[in-house]
Structure formats: structure tokens, C-alpha cells
Structure 1
Amino acid sequence: MFPLVRLVKEFVIFRNAPALPTTGTHVSHHMCLPWDIDPFMELNNGRTLTLFDLGRLLLAKRTGLLETLKREGWGMTMAGTCVRYRRRIRMFDTFEMRSRALGWDDRFFYIEQSMWKKNGDCANHVVYRAAITDANGIVHTDRVRQAFGADDDNLQLPEWVLKWIDAENSRPWPPQQD
């Protein structure tokens, strides 16, 4: 189940937070609760991705993207994910989540998120490929950035993200059915 109570809590906590620039980082703090764990008593990998939703939504709010989506009648969907899990987050561990935009190409926005343990270890890291959509499909990022008032026209995606994009472009779709 989607953590709606947590989402509301985050919007309440950050209701008066200052606006962020397009490339600003939203930082939030969370705890691994009993319903977040798997049979190994640690944060479930699927729940990790769900918790990242909280960071992305608050990042979109604080940068003004949510307001733009509402005004234009657009939606936002995730079109791809590249994730690394490196450290366990156990039940009742607290962690810091960092969320920021990395950049865009002609179709997608790329968002980087990470969870950090109290000792400074990065527990996991994810890059999302997000598309803004309307009734006709994907809205070109130039149109979104213009409506949104993006404040960094020259943002270059890191080379490792470009390599991921290239790998995704060579990946067969739909996958083989053997």
C-alpha cells in the first residue's frame, strides 16, 4: 500500500519550506517502520522505491513543478529506473533521503535520489527517468521547462547517466518471450 499518511506528513512538514531552484536538493528524514521490512528484517527493496516517491513529490513541490503540472493538466510518470542497494537499513533505523534533478534530454527528466545512514554510509542510490505527459503522450522537455520556468538551460547530464541512457536505448523492447 502506498504510504499516504507519510506523504501527508511530508507535505505538512515542508509546507513552509523555501522554494528550491530547478537543481536544488530536497533533504528529508525517515525511519524504517515494521511495515517497510522484508523477511530479513530490513527495508524491502520495493518499499525503498516507494519511499523514494515521497522525496520526488516533495522535490517537485518545492521546485514548483507540481504547480505547473496542475496548471497545465499534465501528469508525471516514471519511465525507467537504475538502482543500487549497498547497505542494509534495518527496522527502526533512521536515514536521510536526498532528491535532486540531474538534468534532461528531449523526452525525459533525470532525477537522482539516495538514502544515507546515520554513520554517513550511502545505503542506496537511484536514478529515475521521468516523463511529463498529457493526453497526447510525452510532453517535450523544452515545453515543460518553459512552462515551469526552469532556471538552468545549460545543465549537462553526467557521463555515467548518458551511458545508462545509451544502454537503455540498445535494450530490446518488448523483451523476448521464450
Structure 2
Amino acid sequence: MNLLFRLMAVLVAALAGRRVGLLDATRLSMRVWPTDLDVNMHMTNARYLSLMDLGRIDLMIRTGMAPLILKNRWQPVIGAANVRFRRSLRPFQRFTLVSRVLCWDEKYVFMEHRMETAEGTAAVAVMQGAFIHRGTVVPPAAVLGALGVAVESPPMPDFVVAWREQPLPAAA
């Protein structure tokens, strides 16, 4: 519930904002609120991921994907995330969430989210996402086709290749 007002603000701004290309970055200006804090009086780790959800919503609306998602009943889901925390975000501190699509393969879309402050990067995350329809992954090529975009994926960065191919640890 405590993200409801932020969600509404993102929806209104994205619908009223300018459209962006699929590979363009979007920026959301935010502030750390008391409800974002943990016992150490900085933004709690889970809140970073929740706010990154808002960045993806902004990106999907501003690229024109949102109507297709609704029309086709696709479910955007995250299958994996890798987050690096560099600096704490303090109470009432302003920051900018920068979201962008990095690349895609035959199944997944890889996105980056950065939380930037005047002092530098506070956190950076790489997300592996997909669109699901009736329990099946919708290939990114099909999503792009529905969007009317004929563009090839940028080369997959080496760090994404290494992360993607890293085996999962064995169960204890």
C-alpha cells in the first residue's frame, strides 16, 4: 500500500510524458521517505526492488508496450535479479531511477536499473524478465513484432553473459 501514491504518480506522468524508444533510458525523480527506511535509517534493500518495478512500469508505458500487454493479456515477470548496492540512500534524500533495456535473447529481456544521486550511483541492478501468456513465455521477437519495432538486440554485455550462464547453487 505504501507505494500506491508513487504508482499513481508514475502512471499519470508516464501517460502524459513523451514517448521513448525501446532502447532509450527513462528517468524517475524520487525521494527516500520514512516508510522506505530500515532499522539502520537508510533505504531498506527490499524497497530498491519495489521502486525498480515502478521504473519498469514507466518504461513499458512510455515505449508503447502497455496497451499490447493489456490487449494480449501478457504478464511481465522477473525471473532473476542481480543487485549491487554502492551507497546508502538516507532519509529524504533525492535520487533518480534510470531504467533501460540492455538486450534480449530468444526468451528473455535484460534490463538495467540505476539509482543515481549527486554523490554517484547508489545501486545498480540487472533484471532478467519475460512476458508470459497462459504459462508460456512470449518470445521478445513476438513482442517487438506486435509493437511494430524491427530492431535487433544490442550485443549482450559480457557481464550479462557471465551472469546468465552462472549455474544455480545446489540445494542444501
Same fold, TM-score > 0.5, yes or no: yes
Task: Describe the SS at the equivalent of 2:16.
Answer: coil
| Alpha-carbon distance change, 150 to 164 in structure 1, aligned in 2, over 3 angstroms | farther
Q: Which residue of 2 aligns with 1:4?
A: 4
Q: CA deviation at 1:153?
A: 1.4
| Whole-angstrom distance in 1 between the partners of 2:85 and 2:17 | 29
Q: Which residue of 2 aligns with 1:171?
A: 168
Q: CA deviation at 1:151?
A: 4.5
1:82-118 deviations in Å (ceiling 9; x for gaps): 1100101011001011000001011110110000112
Residues 1:129 and 2:112 aligned together: no
Q: Which residue of 2 aligns with 1:25?
A: 25
Contact kept in structure 2, 1:22 and 1:151, CA below 8 Å:
no
User: TM-score, structure 1 length as denominator?
Assistant: 0.91
How many pairs were matched up?
172
Identity fraction in percent = 27
Q: CA deviation at 1:155?
A: 1.8
**Runs of 5+ in structure 2 lacking a partner?**
none
**Runs of 5+ in structure 1 lacking a partner?**
none
What code does the residue aligned with 1:160 have? Answer: F
Q: CA deviation at 1:41?
A: 0.3
What code does the residue aligned with 2:156 have? Answer: L
1:27-76 deviations in Å (ceiling 9; x for gaps): 11000000000000000000111011111100010011111111211111
* 4+ runs deviating over 3 angstroms: none
Instruction: Map 1:77-88 to 2 at 5 A.
Output: 77-88=77-88
User: TM-score, structure 2 length as denominator?
Assistant: 0.94
What code does the residue aligned with 2:78 have? Answer: M
Q: CA deviation at 1:152?
A: 2.3
What code does the residue aligned with 1:66 have? Answer: A
Q: CA deviation at 1:2?
A: 5.6
